[in-house]
Amino acid sequence: LGLATPAALVVGLGKASQRGILIRTGAALEALAQTKVMVFDKTGTLTIGKPQITDVYSPNFSSEEALTLAASLEHSSEHPLALAFIEAAQSKGLALDRPDRFETVPGQGIRASLRQKFTLLGNRTFLQSMSVSIPKTFQERLEVWETEGKTSVVLAVDFHVVAAFAVRDELRAESYALIQWLRAEKFQIRLLTGDRKSTAEAIGRNLGLDPSEIYAEVLPSAKEEKISELQNLFGPVTMVGDGVNDAPAMARASCSVSLLGGTDVALEAAQVTLMRGHLSGIRDAVLLSQATLRTIRQNLLASFFYNALGIPIAAGALMPHFGIQLSPVLAGAAMALSSLSVLVNSLRLRRFHQWNQNELKSF
Ligand code: ADP
Ligand code: MG
């Protein structure tokens, strides 16, 4: 009975790590096995996290000048979008300035003083909240980009919009297959992002997600609340994220998953780490955790009945009526046999990769 849980856990966790899935605790494995709700971060999780600038619109500026300003700000930012700007500036050989003052506003953008001018870079809700109005010509561009699934970033200098950038981050090749698998397994699926609704919906369409499954324009602080909400509705929730602005949500979730290659924060916050940096690990992790939990239950049930019968017999319960008495030697052997059966049943988990092979082919 004492071995029933640890034996299965050790084999299950070991098997997982063999497959590049690091599960921190038994509790995380249990939560993962019981979850039927999977929440995904967008940037860096469902997408590859290598955003690129596809369009620049700056009617009164050269695109180099606009890019220099934006990249000078993003240079000090840790947001995944920043990479797009820094790379574009580098490839064009642009010399960047250092902002005099700099502040990131999580889930919104950057507020800084650059060349003695008050500069804002971020999404349009952020700019509007700072009393910058977005000219109609800009708005039209932004809407087109967003319906193409691109993230738009707007630059304002001294409260005037001077440039807009479209940033695209490709979906991971395995994202679609994973979503379809989760759907077939009757999971509730959610996409949780700070990005615009239209951008998120365009990306969601490519993944076969319904608009009702997409929570867009959610500020970092509200992401955690969304997780609580889902927990109240559906029970245990698993959150897959990259730790940028979603570390509190990951901490709130019943189980959290991150991909290697994400941020340090994510690796710190996540209970499950996919070492191969590939989303298909989620399917393995779910199947393996379910198989482990099943094995634990079998072990407990078998041990319980075995002991419930064996101990009274060994104590002589059948002696008065049937004259049957278990010799201590046999009782000892039976005890060892019980441990052995639990171990053998647990070791069956090692064959996991055999029965999972066919399912893996579609990835
Ligand atoms: P996600 O949920 O996709 O990880 P975030 O919550 O980090 O997105 O950010 C939401 C939005 O805020 C981004 O889509 C972007 O428009 C804007 N934003 C946040 N940080 C920055 C930044 N450093 N530069 C430009 N835009 C930013
Ligand atoms: Mg993020």
Is 169 one of the annotated active-site residues of the chain?
no
Instruction: Give tens-digit pLDDT for 126-150.
Output: 999 999 999 999 999 999 999 999 9
The C-alpha atoms of residue 99 and residue 103 are separated, in whole angstroms, by 10
pLDDT per position as a tens digit, 105-121: 988 999 999 999 999 99
Measured in Å, residue 118 CA sits from the centre of ligand 1 at 20
Q: How many CB atoms lie within 10 A of CB 232?
A: 9
Q: Which of 85, 193, 221 to mutate to test the pocket of ligand 1 (most atoms within 8 A of CB)?
A: 193
Please tell me if the CB atom of residue 80 comes closer than 6 angstroms to any atom of ligand 1: no
| Over residues 258-283, mean pLDDT | 82
Q: Which residues of 269-294 are buried (b: 16+ CB within 10 A; e: fewer)?
A: bbbbbbeebbbbbbbbbbbbbbbbbe
Residue 44: predicted pLDDT: 86
Question: Which of 134, 153, 227, 250 most suits a substitution to test ligand 1, by most atoms within 8 Å of the C-beta?
Answer: 153
Q: For the sheet with 117-122, list strands across it.
A: 52-57, 160-168, 151-157, 117-122, 109-114, 101-105
Is the model's pTM score more than 0.75?
yes
Which residues, at least 6 apart from 199, have a Cβ–Cβ distance to it below 8 Å? 145, 146, 149, 150, 151, 152, 216
Classify burial at 74, counting beta carbons within 10 Å of its beta carbon; exposed 0-12, middle 13-18, buried 19 or more. Answer: buried
Q: Where are the beta strands (DSSP E) in the chain?
A: 21-23, 37-41, 52-57, 101-105, 109-114, 117-122, 151-157, 160-168, 188-192, 214-215, 237-240, 255-259, 272-274
Short-list 272, 336, 277, 345, CA closest to 310: 336
Percent of the chain with pLDDT over 70: 95
pLDDT, mean of residues 267-296 = 89
Per-residue model confidence (pLDDT) at position 260: 80
Render pLDDT for 348-357 as a digit per residue (tens, 0 to 9): 888 776 555 5
In this prediction, residue 38 carries a pLDDT of 97
| pLDDT recorded at residue 262 | 60
The whole-number pLDDT of residue 350 equals 80
Banded pLDDT at 162 (limits 50, 70, 90):
very high
Task: Decide: helix, strand or coil at residue 186.
Answer: coil
pLDDT band at 363 (very low <50, low <70, confident <90, very high): very low
Over pLDDT 90: what percentage of the chain?
A: 64
